[in-house]
Every structure is written in C-alpha cells, then in structure tokens.
Amino acid sequence: MSQINPSILSADFARLAEEAEAVRGADWLHVDVMDNHFVPNLTLGLPVVESLRKATDIPLDCHLMIDDPDRWAPQYAEAGAGSVTFHVEAATAPVKLARDLRRLGARASMALRPATPIEPYEDLLPELDMLLIMTVEPGFGGQAFLDIMLPKIRRTRSLINKHGLQLWLQVDGGVSAETIERCAEAGADVFVAGSAVYGADDPAEAVRRLRAQADA
Ligand code: DX5
Ligand code: ZN
C-alpha cells in the first residue's frame, strides 16, 4: 500500500503538535530541514525535531536539505527520527553515512536533486531503505511538479526490481491529486505532500484521498 507523508513545511510552525494531529492516519510526518546553504531557505533543526518527537506518535521522516550531512544526519537519528534522508550531492561518504544511520536505528534514505541521475548510485541501493527523487528543485513548498522526472522514477523502479530490493521509492515536490497517479504509475510508493494536504480544508481527508488515488 502507498504511504502518504504530509510535509509540515506547509503547516503552521507555531502549532506543530496540533498540525501533526490534523493528519492522523498519515504514515509519516515529513520534516524539511533547510540550512540556507544547500538550499536558499531556512527552516528548523534538531531542537524542533526533538520536541516534535515527544509531542506526537507519528514517526518522523526527516529530509535534510543541508550541507555536511555526514556530520549532522546521525544526530537526527539520535533525536528520534525514524527515517533520515540526506542529499547525495552534499554527502562526502554516503555509504558510511547510510550505515551510521542504520546502526543508530533509523531508516537510511538518500535524495537526488532533479538534475542528479540515479545510474552512478546503482551499487549503493542495497545500503538504503528509501530513495527520494525530488520532483521540484528543493527549497520551497508549493512549486509545480516536474513531469520530466517521471522517466527517472521509472528507471529507478526498474533498478530496484532488478536487484530484488525492498527499498521504498519516495517522491517529493508538487505531489497532488493532479500528479500522484502519474508518480504511482511510474513506480513511486511513498508520497510527500505539503500544500496538497495542509492547504486542504480537511488535511486528514486529503491524506485518505491521495492514498486512494495512489493505490487505484
Ligand atoms: C521542498 C520540500 C518539500 C515540500 C513539498 O524542498 O522538500 O517537502 O514541503 O511541498 P509541496 O508538496 O507543496 O510541493
Ligand atoms: Zn521534503
């Protein structure tokens, strides 16, 4: 079954515990960490993740859009994130980092910006629990879905199947009622949605609808 991970980037940052509650039934809460270096925007960091961990039962899917993830990502695992995603463009030693994350009890996940191909990383796939294909340039919510990423999603799904791997394939950026079916058809099974969930009158209902569309 498909997983829907609402992104709190589109939530009210002064009411994060309530906003987590508002998407009850979602699989994971997607937490976008930005450092104003890897991307031109600044959001939140470890103290917020530590507090959110205590304030809600939903597991945290931390997406680190930051420089030097080799140093920082393990600290998000220690802070209680159930899944930690680092960007391969920013990582120095992605295999060591993925192993560190797993050793600390988190799911290890690697993200690709739109212009980063999957093929050079084929041999790394067994080290990962999830691969994130960005379907917008990372940095901001509410951007238009990049259709040109669909072939990369398809090629990645083929590689995962070729190697008989169980890793999840996540898409993030512009995922909505208009685009989720194309992503699912291409082979994605974990869907991040910010504005499509928190911009809806009933965020929990939006999650149910997106999941039904992805599973159709
Ligand atoms: C963008 C973030 C996304 C963002 C998605 O850089 O990584 O998680 O919140 O927002 P929407 O779903 O509105 O495109
Ligand atoms: Zn994200």
Find the CATH number of the domain harbouring 151. 3.20.20.70
Looking at residue 194, its pLDDT comes to 98
Residue pair 6/30 in contact by the 8 Å Cβ criterion: yes
* Ligand 1 binding pocket includes 203 (Cβ within 6 Å): no
CA 179 to chain centre: 16
Which tens digits make up the pLDDT trace of 99-155? 999 999 999 999 999 999 999 999 999 999 999 999 999 999 999 999 999 999 999
Which ligand does the CA of 145 lie closest to? 1
186 CA → ligand 2 middle, Å: 19
Rounded to whole angstroms, how far apart are CA atoms 191 and 91? 23
How large a percentage of the chain has pLDDT more than 90? 100
Domain count along the chain = 1
Catalytic, 67? Answer no
Q: What are phi and psi of 173, to 5 degrees?
A: 120, 110
* Ligand 1 binding pocket includes 87 (Cβ within 6 Å): no
* Ligand 1 binding pocket includes 195 (Cβ within 6 Å): yes
174 CA → ligand 1 middle, Å: 7
- Given 32, 35, 61, 129, the catalytic residue: 32
Which tens digits make up the pLDDT trace of 149-199? 999 999 999 999 999 999 999 999 999 999 999 999 999 999 999 999 999
Confidence (pTM): 0.98
95 CA → ligand 1 middle, Å: 26
Catalytic, 201? Answer no
Rounded to whole angstroms, how far apart are CA atoms 140 and 40? 9
Domain encompassing residue 172: 3-215
Residue pair 69/106 in contact by the 8 Å Cβ criterion: no
* Ligand 1 binding pocket includes 174 (Cβ within 6 Å): yes
What ipTM did this prediction achieve? 0.99
Round the CA-based radius of gyration of the chain to a whole number and report it: 16
Which tens digits make up the pLDDT trace of 23-80? 999 999 999 999 999 999 999 999 999 999 999 999 999 999 999 999 999 999 999 9
In 3D space, the residue among 21, 25, 26 whose CA is nearest the CA of residue 11 turns out to be 21
Beta carbons within 10 angstroms of residue 121's beta carbon: 18
Q: Which residue has the tokens 């009411």?
A: 15
* Ligand 1 binding pocket includes 90 (Cβ within 6 Å): no
Closest atom, ligand 1, to C-alpha of 134: 7
Closest atom, ligand 1, to C-alpha of 30: 8
Could you list the residues known to form a binding site for substrate, using ranges: 7, 63, 139-142, 172-174, 194-195
